[in-house]
Amino acid sequence: MKANANPALKSNLPSLALALLVFAAGIALAGIWLHTHPPRSATNPLSGSTRAVLGQLTTPVTIRYYALLPAGSADETLQSFAGRVAQLLNAMQTASGGKIQLANLDTPAKANAASADGIQPFNLDKGEACFLGLAITSGKNSEAFARLQPEWEPALEFDLARAIQRVAATAAPASPAPEVAKPNPEIIATINRLIPDVTAVSVEQADQIFHAEFLKRCNEVNLEVETLIKPARQKVVEAQTSGSPEDLEAARKNLLAVQLAQAEKVKALNADLQTQLAVFQKMKADATIGAK
């Protein structure tokens, strides 16, 4: 997330590959929902894609929302924004079917807890410190939105949904190993490039090597798609203030399409990652037998 547009994040995600895989699947389903469910309304404030993501949650998620805004330090605009964030979180809690547990923390006594969760104080020059952020946790996994800002509001729902999905996804059970009887020649070539001698590397070491390559390639994908996501997100922001529901819906669909394309690429990379390790184990076993 970029400065002045998105908050700083802190993550503790022990299985990035699995998280990205589930995230990709969720975005794909979100795309289906977007075309088969009506747009948000006053009685149904969330978009179809967000409802799809929250409806898929299988593990509990806790959101601690810190809105510590002393009257002398926070103006009416910030207070109103904080109220709308609370409404959004309440709607997400309802849409999750009980999977999201929401804690609203808005008293000065919670300042230490806010700092411990990575929420950034601000407006110190105006009086008492303000805190406006949230922490999302599921098991040992967490992400913190260090500071929420009004100008980020149009994209907030979608970024929250993605963060919830990432944190919850890592708690899901691992998928079974893929079929490795006839691996793709490109998989074999990649393994040979990364590990020339399979007998000299343990499975644990190979896993680390493959994960490093996976992260490198994911970063390349992210850099490539970021050039498309940034203007797509900006169009959502602009449409939010244009007063045209049609333009806003079109901008959201465009943003979702870009995210879906990115998710599909990451999903393919993750499939390769799983296959590489399974094929490596078979290659190592075959080499060991051949050496006897």
Q: Which two tokens stand for residue 37?
A: 């469910």
Summarize the confidence of residues 34-58 as an average pLDDT: 66
CATH number of 1-175: 3.40.30.10
* Residue 21 reports pLDDT greater than 50: no
Summarize the confidence of residues 63-82 as an average pLDDT: 94
Residue 269: predicted pLDDT: 76
The structural domains of the chain, with segments of one domain joined by +, span 1-175, 177-292
Question: The tokens 């998620």 sit on which residue?
Answer: 61
Q: Is 44 helix (H, G, I), strand (E, B) or coil?
A: coil
Residue 170: predicted pLDDT: 53
Residue 180: predicted pLDDT: 59
For residue 136, what is the enclosing H or E element?
Answer: strand 130-138
pLDDT band at 30 (very low <50, low <70, confident <90, very high): very low
Question: Buried b / exposed e across 62-79, counting CB within 10 Å, b at 16+?
Answer: ebbbbbbbeeebbeeebe
Residue 182: predicted pLDDT: 74
Provide the H-helix boundaries in 131-180: 153-169
Render pLDDT for 159-189 as a digit per residue (tens, 0 to 9): 898 889 888 875 444 444 445 567 788 888 9
Q: Which two tokens stand for residue 65?
A: 């929302």
Q: How far is CA 273 from CA 12, 62, 198, 261, 266, in A?
A: 20, 30, 16, 19, 10
State how far the Cα of 152 lies from the Cα of 155, in Å rounded to an integer. 6
What number of other Cβ atoms are within 10 A of residue 95's Cβ?
20
Render pLDDT for 205-231 as a digit per residue (tens, 0 to 9): 988 898 788 778 877 877 777 787 788
